[in-house]
Amino acid sequence: MDEPIMSEQQNVSQVEASYPEIITFGETMALMMPDNTKGIEYSSHFHSSFGGAESNVAIGVSRLGHRVGWFGRLGKDPLGQMIFKKIRGEGIDVSRAELTTEAPTGLILRQVVNGKSSVYYYRKGSAASFMRPEHLDEAYIKQAKYLHVTGITMALSESARETVREAVRLAKKHGVKVCFDPNLRLKLWTIEEARGVLLDMAAQADYFLPGLDELKLLYETENEDEIFAKLRELPGRSIVKGGDDVTYVVEPDSVTEVPYFKAETVVDTVGAGDGFCAGFFAGLLKGYELPEAVRLGNLVGCMVVQTEGDWEGIPTWEQVEAFLNNVKHVER
């Protein structure tokens, strides 16, 4: 018996259902950490993983039940291949990611000594720093609901900066909402170099996701009233992390405070901001109102800090629901 022929409309619907709802891109690096607390200099055994703000967010969005695409440039080397496979293994579309022989995969070394975390980057001249606007796929960006970019990518090189600008231009051309996290990294550029670039991008974003400490550097003031006044002048909405027990939702005519969730134990704060962004985006994709999407972001960030790793502790949607419903784990 012949198989039924799918109608053209059914074909289109199936293809659209497989498109990522949110797209992000940037540099993801291999991560090496000592297996103990002696520090890098005195350690002979290391744990390998990977980390990158944008891929961390992508993993979070995927675990929270939504379709997400991540792309970037990785070296065609063992570290790049490891990263590529693991990101793909999280259910993320990596069809536009590239493994290249042009340059190597970037590397991070991290240590925690006496409770203090230190990070050492080996990313100058990495594959991601050679990202160029021609690497973008306009049709891929066009079909998404949201494009998420960060200031980290803009700090890598002039060509990477232009790639972000072009991606935002394409997104706005096709009505795709732009989300921008400045993710200020002063090991990559000075505040004088970063200020104009990041504030210009903030003015183009539909959702601007800074930390309060970042805003004090960008706006050159400690006065929070002045900072919020400047944010209200932006055309988009600002979600400000890092307040005293609250995240702020800043709109043209209001500032709403969304309380944090209390973490029982803080194990590792790395990745908390990316976890917040993932939860926030998942909230938007689920159709939540802005404060409720921020509340979900706060919850995911709270859950992330209670485990080790950049992205390993990001919860699934089932774990979030269990937390909200206070479901206790039954071992047997």
| Closest to 79 measured CA to CA, from 44, 50, 122, 110 | 50
On the question of pLDDT at 317 being above 90, the answer is: yes
Mean pLDDT (whole number) for 176-194: 96
Q: What percent of the chain has pLDDT over 70?
A: 92
Mean pLDDT of 159-177: 98
pLDDT at 274 over 80: yes
Given a cut of 90, whether residue 215 has pLDDT beyond it is: yes
Give yes or no for residue 126 having a pLDDT over 60.
yes
Reported confidence tier of residue 268, pLDDT bands at 50, 70, 90: low
Query: What is the C-alpha separation between 40 and 19, in angstroms, rounded?
Result: 42
Residues 269-298: what's their mean pLDDT? 92
119 vs 279: which has the higher pLDDT: 279
> What was the pLDDT predicted at 193?
97
pLDDT digits (tens, 9 = 90+) for 51-93: 999 999 999 999 999 999 999 999 999 999 999 999 999 999 9
Active site residues: 274
What's phi and psi for 100, nearest 5 deg? -125, 150
Please, what is the average pLDDT of the chain? 90
* pLDDT reading at 3 higher than 50: no
- Rounded CA-CA distance 127/133 in Å is 14
Average pLDDT over residues 17-21: 83
pLDDT at position 35 is 86
Render pLDDT for 87-115 as a digit per residue (tens, 0 to 9): 999 999 999 999 999 999 999 999 888 87
> What average pLDDT does range 229-256 have in this prediction?
94
Region 185-204 average pLDDT: 96
pLDDT of residue 244: 84
Assess whether pLDDT exceeds 70 at residue 275: yes
Which pLDDT belongs to residue 313? 83
Q: Is a pLDDT exceeding 60 seen at residue 328? A: no
Per-residue confidence (pLDDT) for residue 6, from 0 to 100: 39
